[in-house]
Structure 1
Amino acid sequence: MIIDDQNPDFNPNVPTLKQVRERLGMTQEEFADALGLSRNTINRYERGIHQRIALSVGQIKRLVELMKQAGLSIEDLPDDID
């Protein structure tokens, strides 16, 4: 998701996956590897080309762990991440 602070639905208190990745100090490739995805998938999602990312249970568990490392909860992500 591209950050769009001009969008009236934008909530700066709700992190995007890009913000989580940046908070972890990870590159797109490192973040993709940690989640078992390709860097291109992460790149396209961050640019708004992909609206959804399908994650396996294992990938969701890894995302939850990464969120904890970033000091966030999975509940902190917006609901529009499917």
Structure 2
Amino acid sequence: MATALSRLRERLQLRQVPEAGQLREIRIRAGLTQQELADELGIARASLNRYERGHRRPRGLVAERYGRLLRTLRESVA
């Protein structure tokens, strides 16, 4: 039970994506174009654009991949 709960907490943490303004800033500081990041996430560039402008929020597996990738990018440029 404790293991399942800790896995659930970990997955929920991975889905935490920064606010829209920070998304663009992190991507730019990492030296990536929207297309490069979208390709890495397996989504359309238009979807990434909507996330960065705050028109939509990533959900599910996309949010998990996005959160994980942004943490990696943030650590690499820090």
TM-score by structure 2 length? 0.57
Greater percentage in helix: 2
**Which entry has the higher C-alpha Rg, 1 or 2?**
2
Conserved 8 A contact 1:24-1:70:
yes
Conserved 8 A contact 1:28-1:42:
yes
Gaps of 5+ in 1: 4-15, 72-82
**Aligned equivalent of 2:71:** 64
Matched position secondary structure for 1:63: helix
- Give the CA deviation at 1:44: 1.1
CA separation of 1:38 and 1:30: change in aligned 2, threshold 3 A: same
Conserved 8 A contact 1:17-1:46:
yes
CA separation in 1, counterparts of 2:77 and 2:40?
Answer: 14
- Give the CA deviation at 1:47: 2.2
TM-score by structure 1 length? 0.55
After TM superposition, what 4+ stretches of structure 1 lie above 4 angstroms from structure 2? none
Gaps of 5+ in 2: 1-19
Q: Of 54, 59, 65, which aligns to 1:54? A: 59
Among all aligned residue pairs of Structure 1 and Structure 2, give the percentage whose two residues are the same amino acid: 37
Conserved 8 A contact 2:27-2:33:
yes
1:16-31 to structure 2, matched below 5 A, reads: 16-31=22-37
Aligned residue identity for 2:37: F
Tell me how many residue pairs correspond in the alignment.
Answer: 57
RCO higher in structure (CA 8 A, sep ≥6)? 2
